[in-house]
A and B are shown apart, each in its own frame.
Chain A
Amino acid sequence: GDSVTQMEGPVTLSEEAFLTINCTYTATGYPSLFWYVQYPGEGLQLLLKATKADDKGSNKGFEATYRKETTSFHLEKGSVQVSDSAVYFCALSERNTPLVFGKGTRLSVIA
């Protein structure tokens, strides 16, 4: 079945550092790909999405590009802030099937 693999955390960065969280997927078809963020004590929020190969999703300074050739959707941000501290989940969905999530990566940004 479909699956998502994320780099394990926790990831600890200093403020203004560059962030990369790796995500690769396995799917039988051509899924849509997503990054969700979970702040402490809150539900999941959709951060960005891409629905086809070479699409770039972006939001709040975060970016991820749908790479079909490497089955990857890595999350990047050029300069992280303390407020970006959260757990980040990569997910996929194929043709309206339920979301399949990775295990999540905890990011801690220190001032």
Chain B
Amino acid sequence: DQQVKQNSPSLSVQEGRISILNCDYTNSMFDYFLWYKKYPAEGPTFLISISSIKDKNEDGRFTVFLNKSAKHLSLHIVPSQPGDSAVYFCAASSQGAQKLVFGQGTRLTINP
């Protein structure tokens, strides 16, 4: 049972445009959400997070939106740059739980 789903295995975006990565979850107990970025041959690195008490969090070119009623979050990257090409994982946790639940990942390719 996949509690966190990223339904797009891959996404291709032109440099300078907006990249939108989506993530859906089923567990209503999740109250903290994170995005990780992963380059080949490296471990995932933390990118941005959002608490369930917010619906938006922004950090430079990266913005995460949370829609609790739809159990949906998205990551916006504006403008997209070639260095953003990587696999992006959505992850969720609930208070008291000792793990992150990850989605399957979306491979983002930024084309020049």
Chains A and B are bound partners: no
Residues in A lying within 8 Å of B, measured CB to CB: none
